[in-house]
A = this chain, B = another copy of it.
Amino acid sequence: MPKIVDHEQYRKELLKKCFDLFAEKGYGSITMRQIAEGLGVSTGTLYHYFPSKQSLFEQLAQEICEQDVSAALAELEGAQTLQEAMEALGRYLVNNEDYFVKWTYIWIDFCQHQETNVIQNTSIFKHTNKQYQQAVYDFLGVQDPVLASFVLSFVNGLILEKLWGDETVDFIEQCALLGKMLTAYLPQSSN
Contact with B along A164-191 (1 / 0, CB 8 A): 1111111001100110111011010000
Given the interface contacts A150-B177, A173-B146, A182-B181, does A163 sit within 8 Å of B105 by beta carbon? no
| Pair A149/B120 contact, Cβ less than 8 Å | no
List B contacts of A169 (CB < 8 A): 149, 153
| Pair B165/A119 contact, Cβ less than 8 Å | yes
Pick the residue among B28, B160, B166, B180 that contacts A28 (CB under 8 A).
B28
Contact with B along A13-28 (1 / 0, CB 8 A): 0000000000010101
Shortest C-beta distance, A61 to chain B (Å), equals 12
Shortest C-beta distance, A165 to chain B (Å), equals 4
Given the interface contacts A149-B174, A169-B153, does A129 sit within 8 Å of B164 by beta carbon? yes
Identical subunits present: 4
Q: How many residues of A contact B (CB 8 A)?
A: 47
List B contacts of A119 (CB < 8 A): 164-165
A41 at the interface (CB under 8 A from B): no
A108 at the interface (CB under 8 A from B): yes
> A: which residues have CB within 8 A of B?
24, 26, 28-29, 105, 108-109, 111-113, 116, 119-120, 125, 129, 145-147, 149-150, 152-158, 160-161, 163-170, 173-174, 177-178, 180-182, 184-185, 187
Seed contacts A149-B168, A153-B161; 13 additional CB < 8 Å A-B pairs: A108-B108, A108-B160, A119-B164, A120-B165, A120-B167, A129-B165, A145-B168, A146-B170, A146-B177, A149-B170, A153-B169, A156-B161, A184-B185
Pick the residue among B145, B153, B170 that contacts A154 (CB under 8 A).
B153
| Pair B29/A163 contact, Cβ less than 8 Å | no
| Pair A129/B160 contact, Cβ less than 8 Å | no
Nearest chain-B residue to A163 (Cβ)? B111
Shortest C-beta distance, A156 to chain B (Å), equals 4
